[in-house]
Structure 1
């Protein structure tokens, strides 16, 4: 059984339909003739098609299924979601994309900056030898740089001895997908036209990074305080 949920911004998700035994059951409140589903057992995917899209269809759509995690217990697993944007404005690819680098001590920070695209849905990843890099990667949220245009930044921190390695910042937008190499003449250093701090300040990224760092420090201090209290109690009541 495969379920599809619709979630509008700021609202709880509601089930749109479910597929069981090859039959589709549409929930009340939705027009049955506007939705089609196709399940491929070979590719292990379920496709939802919406006909005659209207502004009210703008939402994030999730597929879900019941997973028999344990004997006698089922866990509903949700997909990452697909955001549907309904707008009269035509989509446009990023007008500019670049990588900045900043060397600090025994580390190098690469900042991938992608700006002025529409809509705001975009996927940004870092790769090395065609393998995705997830360690020491921070991705900022998209922010509106101008009217109906969005920008985003993502940064990767690596050891200084990895300076000769070639990393790629890959972005995927509905209008364009490309990869930017860190080993290229177009990569700027902080001493050139633009410092990395300038990039962070765009869209208030530095504030977000500091807020996240402060939160992590708070958690660490809280854990240390808890451990200290446990040790004190141990010696008191031993």
Structure 2
């Protein structure tokens, strides 16, 4: 039994004229419920749909003038009409059914020990505000070749900047097989002057995986039910060249950098003195022989 809510958030104005469509994808039709959570308060059920005749049964305080449900194949949409400020909140769809098994000996059905199975979607946040959504500006930063050679791994950082609203989900995948990669994430930062948000997420990539392509994927109001993405790889890292440079530097690491020119000059002077001594050697031998005579 699976249930999906692919919209992470939707944004509308609260003038009583707009309508929101919240979608819930289910792969098993049972009694479907819609809940709302406002201001981090308790979950409150709005309605549920009878699996027998697909009729909508409203809970207290909810009416068809505000909420309507529509089935299309395996998608149930909750339609919220005439949106006002008080409609803001996170809306969850849920499957709730009783699992039964057959007693072969007595040929009758009975409830399982847990009594029922409930499964909730991830939720869709309805924001009621006059500011329109703004797409993240995405850039990826990478470790330098020197850092990778020294540490034995690279860091890829996905920066998402100047987006609105602040509801966002970021994940990393291996590009070829859509395998999710363990990642770290910073806090969402708020820019008061523009009323936009920024976020960074990063992964650590060992040298053995540098040839692989990784994708930073994000879900936001501006991506609707899909994902935004940006990919990166380490194909340009030339660690063999960097290793050779490091070895060359190790050969000279005993000499302070500011004395290397002086050391070279001393070497040249020493060679010149040796050559000069060879030039005077015949003269010295002649003088020594003459003195003996």
Give the TM-score category using the shorter length: 0.5 to 0.7
Let me know the Cα RMSD of the aligned residues.
2.4
* Equivalent residue, structure 2, for 1:81: 123
1:1-238 aligned within 5 A: 1-20=31-50, 21-40=53-72, 42=73, 44-68=74-98, 71=101, 72=111, 73-94=115-136, 96-102=137-143, 103=148, 105-147=151-193, 148-176=195-223, 178-183=228-233
Name structure 1 gaps, 5 residues minimum.
186-238
TM-score (norm 2): 0.56
8 A Cα contact 2:190 2:198, kept in partner: yes
Task: Tell me: higher relative CO, structure 1 or 2? Use CA pairs within 8 A at least 6 residues apart.
Answer: 2
Aligned residue-pair number: 182
Question: Larger Rg: 1 or 2?
Answer: 2
Name structure 2 gaps, 5 residues minimum.
1-30, 102-110, 236-293
SS in 1 for 2:65: helix
Question: Structure 1 residues 2, 78: CA separation in 2 closer, same or farther (over 3 Å shift)?
Answer: same
**1:180 Cα deviation (Å)?**
1.6
Deviations 1:189-210 (A, max 9, x none): xxxxxxxxxxxxxxxxxxxxxx
8 A Cα contact 1:116 1:146, kept in partner: no
SS in 2 for 1:76: strand
8 A Cα contact 2:39 2:89, kept in partner: yes
Question: Structure 1 residues 130, 23: CA separation in 2 closer, same or farther (over 3 Å shift)?
Answer: farther
For 1:133 and 1:139, the matched residues in 2 are separated by 18
8 A Cα contact 1:67 1:77, kept in partner: no
Question: Structure 1 residues 158, 70: CA separation in 2 closer, same or farther (over 3 Å shift)?
Answer: farther
Deviations 1:203-228 (A, max 9, x none): xxxxxxxxxxxxxxxxxxxxxxxxxx
For 1:172 and 1:134, the matched residues in 2 are separated by 15
